[in-house]
Amino acid sequence: MRRIILAAMLLTCPFWLTGCWDRKEINDVAFVMGSAVDREGELYRSTLQIALPGQLGGVGSKGGGGGTGGGNKSYYIESKTGLSLRESNQEIQAGNSRILSFAHRRSLLIGEEFAKQGIGRMMDQFARIPQNRLSSLVAITSGPAYKLLDAEAPMEQFPSEMIRELLAEYTKKPDSLKKLLNTLLSEGIDCSLPYIGVRSGTPEGIEEFKNNIQIVGIALFRGDKMVGKMEGPHVSMLTMAMNQAPNPEIIVDGPGGKGHISIRFSDNTVKQIPVIHGDDVTMHMNVYAKGSIIENNTLTSLSGTKNLLDLEKRVSKEIIDSVLSSIRLLQEKYKVDSMGFGRTISQSKPRDWARMKNRWRELYPDVKVVIHTQLHIENIGAVDKPIGEKEVKDSND
Amino acid sequence: MNQGLLGLPAPDLDKQGLHKDLKSNTAMLKEIFKDCSDMIYRNMELAPGLNGLLVYVEGIVVSEELQMHLLEPIIKGLISAKEAESSDNNASKLLDPLDETRVSLTQVTCAETWGGLIDGILSSSAALIVDGSNQVHLFNVKGGERRPVQEPETESVIRGPREGFTEMIRVNTALVRFRLKTPKLKMVSFVLGKQTKTDVVLSYVEGLADPKVIRDISKRLKDIDIDGILESGYIEELIEDHPYSPFPQMQYTERPDTVTAQLLEGQFAIFIDGTPFVLIAPVTFWGLMQASEDYYERFFITNFVRWIRYLFLSFALFLPALYIAVTTYHQDMLPSTLVLSIAAAREAIPFPALVEAMMMEISFEALREAGIRLPKTVGQAVSILGALVIGQAAVEAGIVSAPMVIIVSMTGIASFTIPRFNLAITVRLLRFPLMLLAGVLGLFGIIIGVTCILVHVTQLTSFGVPYMSGISPFYGSDNKDILVRAPWWKMTKRPAWSSKKNQKRMKTEINGTPESNKGW
């Protein structure tokens, strides 16, 4: 028995002698909620948004916290430059009393200028150190990225959290670091990232100017370099064609060009079917979408098969026009395969792909695109005729 | 040197025979029971010219019974004998005190030695010493004031019998006998404790209990050599397989229905006089997670409750340790919003998480202990102090963080969901080493701790039965009553580990579809 006790005591010693291993209390950690990467000459500028738990309303910690953020903000921003991303982060660490933890980074913003020079080399440290979660969502900013980190986000505790929510809602499969790396490394597809910027939220001329963070388009990459961006009305249809839009909405003119009808597609998929004759590639895109009418401010009723079929026809035309014009832009202006036509071919016709692989950049602009739509407008809503109008002449009667 | 009564050196007293002379017997008896004011000596004439002495201990015998069935018949006989004597000289034959027709008590025994006499008197018998005889008659008039059968306080149920065991062993065995009307229910008697002479009954159902286990337990009981047995705990510690294991290897219960159910599953029960707690063994870990009501309520709710119990068992064991590990090492594991609210709550706390958790858990245990020991009237003060001081003031003063209070209360509630108190104690104790390990090595430490516990538990046995029986070693049919409780009509077999030979509880699966509805 004595020997057992002695052995047990000796065996327990190493536990206590290790001195609590790599203990770091939660109050010794500075949580980086978001970060921004910019280029400054030859240097990387890293800007971190660091949470101030003291400002988050914990009991007994009123008035604590501090930092450069000041005021009542629950975060503060720190920015440093360095030869590499890691070095600039280390510079920030040097001026911070707590250990920086990147595991809770909600979003990673990359400045437009930085992205134009290539994002591939910066990616290494994200994968090398597992503490850098690959689940951070990535976006390209119009202008320097650090400006967005300090933009107003009244709904959330942190602007980075707001950006994350925006990005997560924007696509079916959010653009995380993991997805980005995946696309960067696969062949036959050029990556595209959400393009965010600050837009005014108040009419012009009002004194108190409110700026809101907003997704304004898609940043297009060739390889790891940003080559352009898509903005404007075609973006939502382009994302739908990329099979990425969760609930795209389309607006079409009413019959006779009076008023507008909004349709929301709650269920949509796009399938690419390549038809290849030698170097002549035709990509058939089957758009299948189910939707409902959200708003009808024309003066006509939409009930009745004829009206609906008519509407579906017009919507279909709108989609085809919109997508085709976007794709034309991709093919001719930017020459980027953001739709992943190459990947589709590599997956469904690997033999043809092996033949075309090396010439794909040349072949891509000549790919013919044919769009087939299969639309179902299933729900015209709770009211038949526009409800705010007294008398509507029903053309169906 | 042989130790005699009261541990005094009285080598021969136990086996020494009585004198024939009443006077010297009386003197001897009074010497032995010197300064025992509860002894009653009553000199009486048994027959004309034949003197006797009735001796008993006041309070542990039923005086009315003694009066009605012993004293009255003797005196009546004496009177009639005296009347007869005046007319007939040969009547003294009638007055043989051994004559069973005279005394209407059922349990009469004889003793010839001092040892037997003293044991008898102290075990609630009235002794009648007759002049000129070295035999003494012992009339069992056991009784006296004891607690009546009441609802068991430690194991209350919503649905189920309200009877609980009392301190009287015969009442307790009777409560089981009421429920098990079979001659196969055996009640083997032992007397343990050199001075307490406690009645102990080993009970089992012949044909269900493993004879090897019964032989083993009988031997272990006989080997007990102690001066007193006051509670089932004495016996439990003296006979268990692994005395150094923190895990209980026997179950105790106050409920006769529980004992009956366990006997029917091939376990044995040990009744101990003087305590309402009956020991049951062999037990498995899973058995300790079952409550009697599991079998009285319908199986849907039972399953639900059982899963809650297992869930909260792991809470009781791991929650504080996990909290420590996550807040001191693995902040990355939590969702961002959660980690921030914990960080916000901990911002002003001066202690590391481990110290904070230890402080709170220990004061919680102290609070609970104080609540148990204190008189009920003062108990309320303790709970107010506990709730206000530990719960609120400590948080507001910034000594303890609010999440920690939540963790401690969750742990407390969780440990109360374990139906068997002795298992709950084990869990309460084991969470402290786990907390230390978590504080030193984080999750890695918890895993080391869990591995140690698992290794220990899987090699543990209770009277030869593996503690994890059913899962390890795996018995398929036992799993109907481990993580789930199958409906009764599915549980056709008894547990494989306890009743190896006679496993059938029902012939076939019965379920209640009426004959007329079959085919629908």
- Digit-by-digit pLDDT tens for chain B (520 residues) are 344 444 444 556 777 888 888 888 888 888 888 888 888 898 888 777 788 888 998 888 888 888 888 888 888 877 877 777 666 555 444 455 555 566 777 778 888 888 888 888 888 888 888 888 888 888 888 877 778 889 998 888 899 999 999 998 989 999 999 999 889 999 999 999 988 889 999 999 998 998 999 999 999 999 999 999 999 999 999 999 999 999 999 999 999 999 999 999 999 999 999 999 999 999 999 999 999 999 999 999 999 999 999 999 999 999 999 999 999 988 888 888 899 989 988 888 888 899 999 999 998 888 888 888 888 778 778 778 877 777 788 888 888 898 999 999 999 999 999 999 999 999 999 999 999 999 888 899 999 999 999 999 999 999 989 999 989 889 888 888 898 998 888 888 888 887 777 788 887 777 666 666 666 5
Domain check: are B262 and B341 in the same one?
Answer: no
- Mean pLDDT, chain A, integer: 85
Which 8-state DSSP code applies to residue B148?
P
- Tell whether B40 is within 8 A of chain A (Cβ): no
Q: Mean pLDDT throughout A70-84?
A: 82
Of B434, B449, B466, which closes a domain? B466
Domain check: are B337 and B216 in the same one?
Answer: no
Q: How confident is the model at residue A394 (pLDDT cuts 50, 70, 90)?
A: low
Residue B357: list chain A partners with CB under 8 A.
none
Question: Do B33 and B39 meet the contact criterion of CB atoms below 8 Å apart?
Answer: yes
Which residue among A22, A53, A106 places its CB closest to the CB of B344? A53
A160: nearest CA partner in chain B: B336
Q: Give the span between the Cα atoms of A195 and A238, in whole angstroms.
A: 14
- Say whether A27 and B332 touch across the interface (CB within 8 A): no
What would the two tokens of residue A67 be?
Answer: 């930092």
Residues of A with CB under 8 A from a CB of B: 15-16, 18, 20-27, 29, 31, 33, 51, 53-54, 56-61, 64-65, 101, 103-104, 106, 131, 133, 157, 161
Residue B398: list chain A partners with CB under 8 A.
59-61
pLDDT digits (tens, 9 = 90+) for B43-84: 888 777 788 888 998 888 888 888 888 888 888 877 877 777
What would the two tokens of residue B214 be?
Answer: 């019964």
pLDDT, residue A109, reads 93
Domain check: are B384 and B247 in the same one?
Answer: no
The H-or-E segment that residue B395 falls in is helix B394-396
A24: nearest CA partner in chain B: B328
Domain membership flag for residue B513: no
- Say whether B328 and A23 touch across the interface (CB within 8 A): yes
Domain membership flag for residue B472: no
Domain check: are B70 and B15 in the same one?
Answer: yes
Q: Can you give the residue range of the structural domain that contains B371?
A: 296-466
Q: Give the span between the Cα atoms of B313 and A221, in whole angstroms.
A: 54
Q: Give start-end residues of each CATH 3.30.300.210 domain in chain A.
A: 232-397
Q: Mean pLDDT throughout A127-140?
A: 87
Domain membership flag for residue B385: yes
Residues 6+ apart with CB under 8 A from A164: A34, A106, A107, A137
- Say whether B346 and A25 touch across the interface (CB within 8 A): yes
Domain membership flag for residue B99: yes
pLDDT, residue B100, reads 54
Give B240→chain A minimum CA distance, Å.
18
Which residue among B328, B345, B436 places its CB closest to the CB of A25? B328
Interface test with A, best of B440, B444, B447, B456 (most A CBs within 10 A): B440
Domain check: are B323 and B426 in the same one?
Answer: yes
Domain check: are B273 and B317 in the same one?
Answer: no
Question: Do A190 and A338 meet the contact criterion of CB atoms below 8 Å apart?
Answer: yes
Domain check: are B300 and B344 in the same one?
Answer: yes
Of B466, B490, B505, which closes a domain? B466
Count of CB atoms within 10 A of residue B248's CB? 22
Domain check: are B406 and B445 in the same one?
Answer: yes
Residue B445: list chain A partners with CB under 8 A.
15
Q: Give the span between the Cα atoms of B145 and A392, in whole angstroms.
A: 96
Q: Give the span between the Cα atoms of A40 and A48, in whole angstroms.
A: 16
Q: pLDDT at residue A299 above 90?
A: no
From the centroid of its chain, how far is CA B167? 10
Q: pLDDT at residue A64 above 50?
A: no
Residue B353: list chain A partners with CB under 8 A.
25-26
- Tally the domains of chain B: 3
Domain membership flag for residue B486: no
Domain check: are B108 and B178 in the same one?
Answer: no
Domain check: are B191 and B301 in the same one?
Answer: no
pLDDT digits (tens, 9 = 90+) for A301-339: 777 788 888 888 889 999 999 999 999 999 999 999 999
Q: Give the span between the Cα atoms of A123 and A136, in whole angstroms.
A: 12
Domain check: are B114 and B10 in the same one?
Answer: yes
- Say whether B440 and A104 touch across the interface (CB within 8 A): no
Question: Phi and psi dihedrals of B102, rounded to 5?
Answer: -85, -40
Q: What CATH code is assigned to A232-397?
A: 3.30.300.210
Domain check: are B136 and B70 in the same one?
Answer: yes
Question: Phi and psi dihedrals of B280, rounded to 5?
Answer: -130, 135
Of B283, B312, B341, which closes a domain? B283
- Say whether B328 and A27 touch across the interface (CB within 8 A): no
Which 8-state DSSP code applies to residue B184?
T
The label of the residue with tokens 């001026």 reads: A95
Question: Do A178 and A251 meet the contact criterion of CB atoms below 8 Å apart?
Answer: no
Q: Give the span between the Cα atoms of B283 and A195, in whole angstroms.
A: 66
The label of the residue with tokens 């044909």 reads: B207
What would the two tokens of residue A259 be?
Answer: 């008023």
Domain membership flag for residue B150: no
Domain membership flag for residue B481: no
pLDDT digits (tens, 9 = 90+) for A181-211: 999 998 889 999 999 988 877 777 766 666 7
Question: Do A101 and A30 meet the contact criterion of CB atoms below 8 Å apart?
Answer: yes
Q: pLDDT at residue A167 above 70?
A: yes
- Tell whether B342 is within 8 A of chain A (Cβ): yes
Q: How confident is the model at residue A154 (pLDDT cuts 50, 70, 90)?
A: confident
- Say whether A51 and B343 touch across the interface (CB within 8 A): yes
Give A5→chain B minimum CA distance, Å.
12
